[in-house]
Amino acid sequence: MAAYFNMETLKFLMFNVHKLEELLLNERYNAFDKESILLFLQSVADFSDQDLYPIFKEMDEKPAKFSEGKIHVHPKIKDILIKQGELGIIGASFDEAMGGLQLPATVMHAAYFIMEAANNHIPGYAGLTAGAAHLISSFADKKYHDQYVPNMLSGEWSGTMCSGTMCLSEPQAGSGLSDIKCSAKLTDDGTYRIKGHKIFISGGDHEFAGNIIHLLLARIEGAPAGTKGISLFIVPKYKISPDQTLVDNDVITAGDFQKMGQRGYCTAHLVFGDNDQCTGYLVGEENKGLLYMFQMMNDARIAVGRGGAAIASAAYYASLQYAQERQQGRRLLSGGRKDEAAGPTLIINHPDVRRMLFLQKAIYEGSLSLILQSSIYHDREISEKENNNHWNLLLEFLTPITKTYPSEKGKLAVDNGLQILGGYGFCADFILQQYYRDIRIMSIYEGTTGIQSLDLLGRKVLMENGLVLKTMLAEMQNTISEGKMDERLMATAKELEDQLPLVEATLAHLIPIAMKGETEKFVSDATLFMEAIGTIVVAWQWLKIGITASNALKSSDAAFSASMLKNKLHTMRFFYKYELARNKSIFKIIQSDEVLTLAEDEAFPD
Ligand SMILES: Cc1cc2nc3c(=O)[nH]c(=O)nc-3n(C[C@H](O)[C@H](O)[C@H](O)COP(=O)(O)OP(=O)(O)OC[C@H]3O[C@@H](n4cnc5c(N)ncnc54)[C@H](O)[C@@H]3O)c2cc1C
């Protein structure tokens, strides 16, 4: 079995860097201890080895396909989703009272990270099902919870498969959800008639679906224009009749998008109510749909970042293995002579190949740490009521970054992995090209990088009069202060500290532009701002990793080998030298008075 993730690193990040055991003291989670969590993660790793990884390549080579009104997916998908239900993966973080395991979301993310590194074409089915079930249990009438949620969490509907989706996108409304046209008309029995098209719906339909519960955004007739007039509906593929049998709900599958990556994961075009027979059940209150949907979208954003980190992890281990086996070229001796006598060397000995390996490792481990950091904030927010606003502010700030950094830099990491294989990297016999294609979607769905960047600069930085940003910077400053006390880390901590005035200077340049009402100009380089802040946030994660590794080395912590701990410190230094140092030039571009991208400045040319 090829390696696609490293359990030791995952444990180190969860229990040592992010101190999961402190969270477990909390009443909500105190049924678990380190041992039970490690057992759970090991069962997920075994399942991933036995069921997910073996069909990863096959799912790409024989993609999901639409024919005769049905989407055909890999034949093992049905059993896999039911098995995920049995393992408790779908309902991992749900309350016990609802049929979940009540595990911290941090553990759930770690489990999905393992599964996605093994096969990123499958966990989305369970992830979206859990997200849809969470929306129903949070905001819908209890009777809908009782009808749908237990089946969704078990992954089963009368022996067949049950899953959930998020139905937002329409042909004319992708990034701009205010233009949603899908309509809902109130009927005499209090339900709604749904009509419209939804496109790009992940897990939207397939041959094994005993039922699929769509969480769909639509506009009730007469609702206000824009986002204030959008409502949320439960629209099952099959509705439950009074005698409890399932009847067709007029949801037609019009096709499956054929994609460059994640080809085994179906992406449906769905038509609702073509025969005026599609029933939808309102979730919560009218016109509050987008507000509710943000719960699922925010969770999904963290999940997309996690997918990016997982693919980058798998690509790293695949390229590492290749670099340890492939011989090519000679090592350079002093004076530039080639070491002909020794014969060809393993390519892992060439500094440029080592640079590409370290870059991948620095990006994927930094990204994984960021995902765990965000999920720890989430777990604290829901379990520490007295202090939940503090954790909420931190999570708000980190969410767009946690989606974007692993997606964008993950692409760079996988690209470097592919480069390590030389010509073979470009060939179908080797897996790197699949990772390269699969990871490409991460910076597009769940809000593109452009949209996440607008959220970060246009909303989060300004939110609560700058309190969100201030809270985040204070959190980083705490880590910096801790790092400065350690001789081994002093210089690294200082390098991170030196970034903070750059952020302040950049905002001192941008905020007056916003105050003048020149909003388009203010956000014109939001994506560059995201890139620089993302790098700072991950540098902060690396400093945390460095502090933990350094402390463990000092105390000769036997839980981890000295070579692993030293490698963490080395990779931290790599990140600071090769990645963080680039930030100065990015901030300089943002602070430049020369704005070249506004529509009225220059017509787009021939
Ligand atoms: C494989 C796949 C699976 C998907 N799964 C789902 C799903 O399960 N459910 C669902 O509802 N949707 C799903 N989507 C849809 C996905 O979320 C959208 O494709 C995405 O949000 C972008 O919308 P769009 O494709 O309409 O592009 P557009 O919105 O047309 O964007 C095109 C470009 O313009 C930029 N842009 C647009 N508006 C702005 C702006 N205001 N400011 C700056 N730049 C802007 C974008 O960043 C992008 O670069 C999926 C898509 C794919 C490809």
Amino acid making up residue 488: R
Contact status, residue 213 vs residue 162, Cβ threshold 8 Å:
yes
Has residue 534 been placed in a domain? yes
Tell me how crowded residue 179 is: count the other CB atoms within 10 A of its CB: 14
What ligand 1 atom has the least distance to the C-alpha of 203? 8
Does some domain include residue 222?
Answer: no
Judge if the beta carbon of residue 125 lies within 6 A of ligand 1: no
Residue 404, in any domain of the structure: no
Is residue 555 included in any domain, yes or no?
A: yes
Check: CB of residue 431 under 8 Å from CB of residue 318: yes
Taking only the tens place, the pLDDT of each residue in 452-493 is 999 999 999 999 999 999 999 999 999 999 999 999 999 999
Q: In the structure encoding, which two tokens stand for residue 597, read together? A: 């991208």
In 3D space, the residue among 482, 495, 497 whose CA is nearest the CA of residue 550 turns out to be 482
Bridge partner residues of 157 (DSSP): 160
Could you report the per-residue pLDDT of 28-55, keeping only the tens digit for each?
A: 999 999 999 999 999 999 999 999 999 9
Task: Report yes or no: 491 and 560 within 8 Å, Cβ to Cβ.
Answer: no
Structure tokens at 490: 């002093």
Residue 576 in any domain: the answer is yes
**Candidates 129, 175, 519: which one to mutate for ligand 1, based on the most atoms within 8 Å of Cβ?**
175
Q: Strand, helix or coil at 155? A: coil
Q: Could you tell me which of 112, 117, 120 has the C-alpha nearest to residue 2? A: 117
> Residue 448 Cα, ligand 1 centroid: separation in angstroms?
6
pTM of the model as a whole:
0.97
**Residue that is written with structure tokens 């695949």 in the block:** 318
In 441-569 the beta strands, taken as DSSP E runs, fall at none
- Give Cα separations from 526 to 480, 509, 522, 591 (angstroms): 26, 13, 8, 12
State pLDDT tens for residues 500-538.
Answer: 999 999 999 999 999 999 999 999 999 999 999 999 999
In a domain? residue 461: yes
Helix axis angle, 351-383 relative to 562-578, nearest 10°?
100
Tell me: the pLDDT tens digits for 547-583?
999 999 999 888 899 999 999 999 999 999 999 999 9
Q: Is residue 153 part of a domain?
A: no
What range does the domain containing 515 cover? 450-595
Other beta carbons within 10 Å of 343: 8
Provide the number of structural domains found in the chain.
1
Question: Quick check: is 505 in a domain?
Answer: yes
Per the structure block, which two tokens stand in for 442?
A: 């991460």
Closest alpha carbon to 300 in 366, 401, 399: 399
Q: What are phi and psi of 165, to 5 degrees?
A: -140, 170
pLDDT band at 56 (very low <50, low <70, confident <90, very high): very high
Is residue 551 within 6 Å of ligand 1 at its C-beta?
Answer: no
50 lines ligand 1 (CB under 6 A): no
Nearest CA to ligand 1 atom 43: 450
Distance from C-alpha of 249 to C-alpha of 275, rounded to nearest angstrom? 10
- Is 169 touching ligand 1 by the criterion CB < 6 Å? yes
